[in-house]
Structure 1
Amino acid sequence: MKVTRAALPLLPLCQRLLPGRLAGLSLALLKATALEIAILAGHLLLYPSGITPERRPVPLPSRTPAGLPGADTAGLPDPTRLPTPAKPPVVLLHGFIDNRSVFVLLRRSLIQHGRHQIESLNYSPLTCDIRTAAELLGRHIEEICERTGHQQVDVVGHSLGGLIARYYAQCLGGDVRIRTLVTLGTPHSGTLVAPLMNAHPIVRQMRPDSAVLEDLRQPAPHCRTRFVSFWSDLDQLMDPLESACIEHPDLLTQNVRVSGIGHLALPVHPAVALGIRQALDAEETGVRPAEQTGGLTVA
């Protein structure tokens, strides 16, 4: 899957100065970095709009006749429940020091392709423990299931958000509620980047030797959630890059390599959005996102 590339003014100079494969890698990195800077600038503009919690959808009146399940004791429809469409709700969970505004484009893409129950959850930037955040996520998902009438949800988590959702699904019994978990640039095996940020407790929990990641390495023979991990070969926040892959013998996993973009572009790029839609729809259509060997190429 290729996306038309845009010319950068420094490309001719780099092509003259850098030989062969080194030039190709450097040019790809240059383009990815330029895209990351552009995305960061746009995200900073949108960031204030995502600070406040998302408005919850207004329940629509049910047509359930009096005396049937779903009607209250006075014969009136239950105002707290929404009509149940075929596809489960999608829960979007942002990364570290971020908020729901990172998913503006992905949300639009999902809505345009038939996903009408989408909820973006914010967790506090002061969150200091992945396990506590996972418990909070579980309460949110229980409320969503109760309100929508669905037994399960799909979750898309960017970076730290994917790790929180995985902990809930794998360690807190959340596999009953999460049907498919899609992670984007999530440090499943821990990342060594930015050692100066170790002062923050949640950053220390994303290190390879943390107790949280040790919990995730434990056997999980009965976990029912399906995991799809998108990882980028130019992700500046993953060290090593393959730490964003899920490697666990008991989990139903699929790792999708994305070539040509960085960490911030994963929840934004249309090629990745297509892969996410395929991953979420796989249960109904049987169409799987690109295999790790082929992956997505964003050139």
Structure 2
Amino acid sequence: MIATTHPLRRALCGIGIAAGLTAASAFGPATAAPTLEPTIGSLAQYLDAGMVAAADGRTPTAIADTGSGSGSASGSSSGSAGSRASDAVGEGPEMSSYLAAFAYGLLNPDAAPPGANRWDCKPTAQNPRPVILLHGTWLNAYDTFSYLSPRLAAAGHCVFTLNFGKSGLLEAGGLGAVLPGRYGVGPMADSSRQVAAFIERVRAATGADQVDLVGHSQGGTIANHYLKFEGGQGKVGKVVSFGGTHHGTSLLGIATLGRMINNAGIDILGFYRPIIGASNVEQAVGSPFYATLNANGDTVPGVDYTVVGSRYDEVMNPLELGFLRAGPDATVGNVTLQNGCEQDVSDHLTMMYSPRAASIALRALDSTGNHALACTFNPWFFGGGGSL
């Protein structure tokens, strides 16, 4: 869900830009100026309304380029207008602190976490399924997994990841998109399709019939949507989620209040959509997205789920919102990070820099179960066992 480290100054600047564009539409001719929505297409319509015919009689028109055709360094990109995905390329350094990883991710927004996207990797008998890492909202593959990815690779897993849900401020990506590398902001159904295309590439490259999915925050929801609506059933063995927004988030009650107001007939969440982004509006508890996602239960047959939550998670609260209920032919292990390790006080972001969380992922993914559970102090806000 929402990362809380973005400067207020950027937010205020973005609000000013959005407000300025909206106000500008009021000064055009009353019969010509369209309503200016926060999309590239609407902005193009607004510009077209003010165009004057040239001397030769032709009238210039604006071209609405959403960027959906621009891909990664390898030329792969998928998605719809206003949302796209790209590979994470060029391995960045291993980090033990989320803050350090966040800073590196700002300067290198499409860096791959260490150990990931080695396309010549072949699964082994011990680890037969490639592991796909799915980041959360306003995050990217690197700043989410620069701690976990190298540990999975060192344990013999083939690790792959991508940046999905890439969208700009005027594409309903929200103010988070103003900062480099703030992805996972587009509509989640689009992101799910982008992940589905990436998984097919991984399966083709590795020869594996199935993959395992590790998702953080929105990444857990994307894993569920892929399984239920994008042909993922039968292609996934295990799902491991950390702080997954499986039933939406109340965000300390704010999203719940917003949904109540919306249900009363006042579209307050629609008003905030240009500010917080499409995926954050969808992740408000009680949204139509979740009504559809979980209409037939939390799980799909044939999948083993491990769901990890933290008592100190400021986004996924109450804790139980992130847990799953097992349906037919599925297994679910709901794990509270602090059970048996009270000194781990990881929050929503630093959970991915917790030695205990990493050991839970390794144990869940390794069928031999030979990985011991770690238990170290992991401070809220900093992470990485206090090592910066």
Deviation string 1:116-173 (CA, Å, 9 cap, x unpaired) is x111211134242111111111111011001110001111111011111111113333
Q: CA deviation at 1:230?
A: 0.4
Q: 1:57 and 2:118 equivalent?
A: yes
What's the secondary structure of 1:228's corresponding residue? Answer: strand
> For residue 149 of structure 2, what is the aligned residue in structure 1?
107
TM-score normalized by the length of structure 1: 0.69
Q: 1:85 and 2:124 equivalent?
A: yes
What's the secondary structure of 2:149's corresponding residue? Answer: helix
Q: 1:186 and 2:244 equivalent?
A: yes
Q: 1:95 and 2:173 equivalent?
A: no
> Match of 1:234, as an amino acid?
Y
Distance 1:133 1:213 in 2: 15
Distance 2:361 2:119 in 1: 27
Deviation string 1:175-214 (CA, Å, 9 cap, x unpaired) is 2211111111012121111548852221121122112211
> For residue 153 of structure 1, what is the aligned residue in structure 2?
211
> For residue 288 of structure 2, what is the aligned residue in structure 1?
211
Q: Is the 8 A contact 1:157 1:165 kept in 2?
A: yes
Q: 1:254 and 2:338 equivalent?
A: no
Distance 1:264 1:171 in 2: 28
Return 5+ residue gaps in structure 1 as ranges: 1-37, 60-81
TM-score normalized by the length of structure 2: 0.54
Q: CA deviation at 1:53?
A: 6.0
Deviation string 1:89-141 (CA, Å, 9 cap, x unpaired) is 111111101111121110111122222x1112111342421111111111110
> For residue 171 of structure 1, what is the aligned residue in structure 2?
229
> For residue 44 of structure 1, what is the aligned residue in structure 2?
102
Q: CA deviation at 1:236?
A: 0.6
Deviation string 1:29-49 (CA, Å, 9 cap, x unpaired) is xxxxxxxxx944313222136
What's the secondary structure of 2:335's corresponding residue? Answer: strand
Distance 1:56 1:112 in 2: 14
Distance 2:370 2:375 in 1: 15
> For residue 176 of structure 2, what is the aligned residue in structure 1?
none
> For residue 70 of structure 1, what is the aligned residue in structure 2?
none
- Give the fraction of aligned pairs with identical amino acids, expressed as a percent: 24
> For residue 161 of structure 2, what is the aligned residue in structure 1?
120
What's the secondary structure of 1:43's corresponding residue? Answer: helix
> For residue 234 of structure 1, what is the aligned residue in structure 2?
312
Q: Is the 8 A contact 2:105 2:111 kept in 1?
A: no
> For residue 137 of structure 1, what is the aligned residue in structure 2?
195
**Larger radius of gyration, structure 1 or 2?**
2
Q: Is the 8 A contact 1:156 1:182 kept in 2?
A: yes
What's the secondary structure of 2:233's corresponding residue? Answer: helix
Seen in structure 2, the aligned counterparts of structure 1 residues 150 and 201 have a Cα distance that, compared at 3 Å, is same
What's the secondary structure of 2:193's corresponding residue? Answer: helix
Aligned residues: 233
Seen in structure 2, the aligned counterparts of structure 1 residues 56 and 186 have a Cα distance that, compared at 3 Å, is closer
Deviation string 1:7-34 (CA, Å, 9 cap, x unpaired) is xxxxxxxxxxxxxxxxxxxxxxxxxxxx
> For residue 266 of structure 1, what is the aligned residue in structure 2?
351
Distance 1:209 1:58 in 2: 40
Q: Is the 8 A contact 2:165 2:187 kept in 1?
A: no
Q: Is the 8 A contact 1:170 1:223 kept in 2?
A: no
Distance 1:150 1:161 in 2: 22
Seen in structure 2, the aligned counterparts of structure 1 residues 244 and 58 have a Cα distance that, compared at 3 Å, is closer
Return 5+ residue gaps in structure 2 as ranges: 1-95, 168-184, 259-268, 339-344, 379-388
Distance 1:165 1:50 in 2: 25
Q: Is the 8 A contact 1:93 1:155 kept in 2?
A: yes
Q: Is the 8 A contact 2:165 2:190 kept in 1?
A: no
> For residue 243 of structure 1, what is the aligned residue in structure 2?
321
Q: Is the 8 A contact 1:279 1:289 kept in 2?
A: no
Q: Is the 8 A contact 2:240 2:361 kept in 1?
A: yes
Q: CA deviation at 1:239?
A: 2.6
Distance 1:108 1:288 in 2: 15
Q: Is the 8 A contact 2:98 2:350 kept in 1?
A: no
Q: Is the 8 A contact 1:171 1:215 kept in 2?
A: no
> For residue 26 of structure 1, what is the aligned residue in structure 2?
none
